[in-house]
Structure 1
Amino acid sequence: MAVVRISGEDRVLEGPDDMTLLWALRDLAGLTGTKYGCGVGLCGACTVHVDGVAERSCMLTIADVAGKEVTTIEGLSPTGDHPVQAAWRELNVPQCGFCQAGQIMQAASLLAAKPNPTDQEILSEMEGNVCRCGCYERIVAAVRLAATGS
């Protein structure tokens, strides 16, 4: 059991310390926007922010995040107005949509650290997030739009 600040709210996660953050978010906190993809940190579907940095929630435990700030897709912008979310909608990025929460969280972390990245920096940072539908060109365009407004 641990107290974790999730999207601005202190929550007690009453699971074993070695339970993955992914399952704690989904099963204990009821936040199902974070998706299970591969379970080994390779696909990025489960990406959340831990103290402002993109992390794979399937690779972290409850104990790893005790006392830290975890932001999920639900908490990125409760109204869906984050610039990355707005760019995703404007450019109709998703096809099936399964990976999109992780993609958006990765992109938001990138832009928080580097507000005006080059296309190569976007590609490099987003490389670990897999889109089975191949929406990569739209993803890069949306990150660029969120960064520059054009």
Structure 2
Amino acid sequence: MSNPPAKKVSVSLEVNGQTRQVDIRPIDTLLYVLRNQLSLTGAKPGCLNGDCGACSVMVNNNVYKSCIILAIETVGAKITTIEGLKDSPIQDAFIKHFAFQCGYCTPGFIMNCHALLEKHPHPTYEVMKEWLSSNICRCTCYEEIEAAVLSITYVNDI
């Protein structure tokens, strides 16, 4: 015997400074809701188990993998996606330093680097490396990404 489909509930989500009304099932991930209901496709489905970081967003100024957080958990929180960082210093630095290859993982890296600099405006090299380790890029090394971060801050002990 199969379970009946989960009933949808109407909730408000604050995304990129705007309140958005959505009908979600309690089992819907934030990634699913962002992409399929709000047409915010910057967060990418990668591994879908929280390992790769392609789906990274900020919730109340903390980085989360949107593929493993339920949308219902973010009601009342401030959600920021890559679309909300348009023309941000870190995005400009990524462009200037060619910190992307195919570009699929780039939004997640930008979100992570933005959060890093919000929490640690002058990170040590070790702190920067630790933060970057939570995202995976299969196309390139992380040198260009590190250069992008370093270009808008200084690192205490390189």
Equivalent residues of 1:93, 1:135 under 8 A apart:
no
Aligned counterpart for 2:61 among listed residues 52, 67, 78: 52
Gaps of 5+ in 2: 1-9
RMSD of aligned alpha carbons: 0.9
TM-score, length of structure 2 as denominator length: 0.89
- Residue 14 of structure 1 deviates from its aligned partner by 1.0
- Which amino acid in structure 2 is aligned with residue 140 of structure 1? E
- Number of residue pairs the alignment of both structures matches: 145
Q: List structure 1 segments (4+ residues) > 4 angstroms apart after TM superposition.
A: none
- What is the TM-score normalised by the length of structure 1? 0.93
Q: What is the percentage of aligned positions where both structures have the same residue? A: 38
CA contact (8 A) 2:85 2:91 kept: no
Give the drift of 1:135: 3.2
Q: 1:10 aligns with which of 16, 19, 41?
A: 19
Give the aligned partner of residue 114 of structure 2.
108
Secondary structure of residue in 2 paired with 1:116: coil
Q: In the alignment, residue 101 of structure 2 is paired with which amino acid?
A: Q
Q: Show the 5 A alignment for 1:106-145.
A: 106-145=112-151
SS of the aligned residue for 1:147 comes to coil
Quote the Cα distance in structure 1 between the aligned partners of 2:67 and 2:11.
Answer: 17
Which of 33, 46, 53 is matched with 2:42 structurally? 33
What secondary structure, in the 3-state scheme, does the structure 1 residue paired with 2:67 have?
Answer: helix
- Which residue type is aligned with residue 107 of structure 1? C
Deviations 1:69-90 (A, max 9, x none): 100000123xx2x111111011
8 Å Cα contact 1:86/1:146 also seen in 2: no
Larger displacement relative to structure 2 (135-144 or 22-31) = 135-144
Between the aligned partners of 2:71 and 2:58, the Cα distance in structure 1 is 14
After TM superposition, give the deviation of residue 24 of structure 1 in Å: 0.2
Q: Distance in 2 between matches of 1:20 and 1:74?
A: 18
- What is the aligned counterpart of 1:75 among 67, 84, 92? 84
**Deviations for 1:25-78, whole angstroms, at most 9, x for unmatched residues?**
00000000110000000000000000011110001111110111100000123x
Q: Distance in 2 between matches of 1:10 and 1:16?
A: 18
What is the deviation of 1:134? 2.2
Measure how far apart 1:147 and its partner are: 1.9
